[in-house]
Amino acid sequence: MSATRPVYASEADVAAAAEPLARLRRTLESVLFGKEELISLTLTGLLARGHLLLEGLPGLGKTELVKGLAKALGLATRRIQFTPDLLPGDITGNPVLRETPEGRTFVFQPGPIFANLVLADEINRASPKTQSALLEAMQERRVTVLGTSHDLPDPFFVLATQNPVELEGTYPLPEAQVDRFLFKLEVLRNDAATLERIVRDRELGVEPSVSQVMEAAELASLLALTRRIFLPDVVANYIARLVDATHPGQSAAASGVKFGASPRAALSMASAVKARALLHNRVNASFEDVQAIAHAVLGHRLILDYSARIEGRSARHIVADLLKEIPTRQGALPRTLQESPA
């Protein structure tokens, strides 16, 4: 018996998705000024069903972006303010002793993680033990308390914000948890023109008004359509070679890398390039999509050794060098040689 052939997205499907996605993009751009690329990557992560980590100094709009997204989508949303005294049970929930017809018994009381969209605000201000309470939830979309598993709502997204680790009162996230974030996005300061617009159009302490622009069924349809975007074999091969090249000894660019990206990074990249293709009204992913999201997928997954730090190389530098070194098609010359004059 032959296997069922996958049903890929048609041009009509992709065209129909353009209007609701544009509507959502405009809404987010009205919340956060001058951050078009950040908003595009946020929407890409949403369509890919991934969790996002936003890093930046306080006051740059990280939390406002997440809150605006939640309001625009009309999803059940909970906010968890991470602090040093937060406990794992404060996130997942705890068993509570209650009176029942059979007598007193422990009944599970769900925590704030039981929502479609969870805003984990300043996630790196809690201890690593508390941060690890999110591990199972982010990977398997469920939590286990006292040996009993409880499924989380569908869809389920964790959008976390963190302050740079150089600030006081922060803890580095465990590597296992960092790997569960599809993207790590850096939120940079605004230029003078954007600051002028903020001063004119915003009031201190007053949140921007955001209306719901997408129904739950519409979002579910877009998420399903993303999975039907075609991933050509040559693009899948490029992703595999790019991720493999992040490991020591596999490429010149990986010099200074102690541990490279995991298979989860390759799967994350495959999902993200499909989502980006849909955002750009295409029925198939391309090499351009891989190169556009490589930094967001790989940068936070590379663990550097002391030699890279001495040389002043960051993960961003290494990913940029990988994109130059690894050719898009297997067997081709490295891109640096392809582009050099004869």
And the tokens for 300? 């936070």
**Given pLDDT bands bounded at 50, 70 and 90, which one contains residue 155?**
very high
Could you give the 3-state DSSP secondary structure of residue 209?
coil
Structure letter (DSSP) for residue 215: -
Buried b / exposed e along 26-55 (16+ C-beta atoms within 10 A): ebbeebbbbbeebbbbbbbbbbbbbbbbbb
CATH assignment of the domain containing 178: 3.40.50.300
In a domain, 219, yes or no: no
Give the domain-ending residue among 178, 211, 244: 211
Q: Which residues contact 215 (CB under 8 A, 6 or more apart)?
A: 74
- The answer to whether residues 135 and 242 belong to one domain is no
In a domain, 217, yes or no: no
**Given pLDDT bands bounded at 50, 70 and 90, which one contains residue 331?**
low
And the tokens for 17? 């998705």
pLDDT, greater one: 175 or 167: 175
- The answer to whether residues 78 and 191 belong to one domain is yes
Give the domain extent around 266: 229-342
- The answer to whether residues 239 and 285 belong to one domain is yes
Q: What mean pLDDT, rounded, does the chain reach? A: 87
The single-letter code of the amino acid at 236 is A
In a domain, 3, yes or no: no
In a domain, 106, yes or no: yes
Give kind and range of the element (H or E) at residue 160.
strand 157-162
Could you give the 3-state DSSP secondary structure of residue 92?
helix
CATH assignment of the domain containing 317: 1.10.8.80
- The answer to whether residues 69 and 18 belong to one domain is yes
**Given pLDDT bands bounded at 50, 70 and 90, which one contains residue 1?**
very low
**Residue showing tokens 């660019």:** 253
User: In this structure, are residues 222 and 21 in contact, taking their beta carbons and an 8 Å threshold?
Assistant: yes
> Is residue 341 scored above 90 in pLDDT?
no
Taking each continuous run of H as one helix and of E as one strand, the counts in the chain are 15, 11
- Of 153, 149, 150, 159, the residue nearest 180 (C-alpha): 159
Q: What is the tens place of the pLDDT at every residue in 202-250?
A: 777 667 788 899 998 999 999 999 999 999 999 999 999 999 999 998 9
> Is residue 339 scored above 70 in pLDDT?
no
User: In this structure, are residues 274 and 226 in contact, taking their beta carbons and an 8 Å threshold?
Assistant: yes
Could you give the 3-state DSSP secondary structure of residue 198?
helix
- The answer to whether residues 276 and 315 belong to one domain is yes
- The answer to whether residues 328 and 203 belong to one domain is no
Q: What are the percentages of helix, strand and coil residues in the chain, rounded to 5? A: 45, 15, 40
Whether omega before 232 lies within 30 degrees of 0, making that bond cis, reads no
Q: Which residues contact 205 (CB under 8 A, 6 or more apart)?
A: none
Q: What is the tens place of the pLDDT at every residue in 274-304?
A: 999 999 999 999 999 999 999 999 999 999 8
- The answer to whether residues 164 and 297 belong to one domain is no
In a domain, 221, yes or no: no
Number of domains the chain contains: 2
**Cα maximum dimension of the chain:** 85
In a domain, 330, yes or no: yes
- The answer to whether residues 135 and 251 belong to one domain is no
| Half-sphere exposure for 69 (CA within 13 Å, toward CB) | 28
User: In this structure, are residues 261 and 304 in contact, taking their beta carbons and an 8 Å threshold?
Assistant: no
- Of 275, 226, 329, the residue nearest 13 (C-alpha): 226
**What's the first-to-final CA gap in the chain, in angstroms?**
54
